[in-house]
Amino acid sequence: MNRLNNKTVLITGATSGIGKSCARYFASEGANLVLFARREHLLDEVKNELKKLTEGDIYTSPCDITNYKNVQQVVSALPEQLKKVDILVNNAGLAKGLEPIADGLPENWDVTIDTNVKGLLYVTKEIVKGMTERNSGHVINIGSTAGHDVYPNGGVYCATKYAVKAITQTLRIELVATSIRVTTIDPGLVETNFSNVRFNGDSERAKNVYKGITPLTPDDVADAVLYAATRPPHVSINEVILTPVNQANSNFVHKVKAD
């Protein structure tokens, strides 16, 4: 039984990793999908894959979430039947660099803050307005264990994920008199393209992040997102923290050395 027939789900950063998995999970439940990402050719590829899973509408649009005017334009251009977004998954996020603050590159800070904080705010602002008018909806933000405890050389990234937690908690309070649910899903180590981006394409260094541990997969996180989205209307899953078994938090990870 498809639990999300006739529901419209908007996912940012939908062409890879957690975003792409979320799109597949929601498609399998019959939802209509609105997918935002920067690269149009990857959006086309994802759309073609998802058509095999659902008869629901799939609408894709290139969107630079760090540009508020672009977000406004893309949201206002949504087809009429998809303008009423029922579930917003703020997934787009990244980290650039892994250095002490004294050695950090301000241009990396700008990209990280603009994407993880300002981009999330821009999309949320444009979508929550309609949810408030309809007194219905669900905002699901993809946070991180880095929003609960910091780690060396990750100061700016951690700050952005603490910001996601603060924005999520504030939004929940602001909407408490409505029927709109607000959730944050906060994973630990997930093997995606995240580390490759952080290390500017150094794939060997990126692989080392996950050596000696069985990390979460994007599907593990998407499963948690779908769980939160499919609870009865009176139930709000406020926060989920999930990690690999051998990760206690951002700083404590047990890795098995190779023989």
- Tokens (6 digits) for 8: 């419209």
Of 25, 59, 157, 162, which one is the catalytic site residue? Answer: 157
> Exposed e or buried b for every residue in 49-75, given b needs 16+ CB within 10 A?
ebeebbebebbbbebbbbebeebeebb
68 catalytically annotated: no
Q: How far is CA 28 from the centre of its chain?
A: 18
- How remote is the C-alpha of 230 from its chain's centroid? 17
CA distance 184 to 7: 20
Q: Contact 60/44 with Cβ under 8 angstroms? A: yes
In 3-state terms, what secondary structure has residue 242?
A: strand
Closest by CA position to 144, among listed 33, 240, 5, 38: 240
**Active centre residues (catalytic):** 157
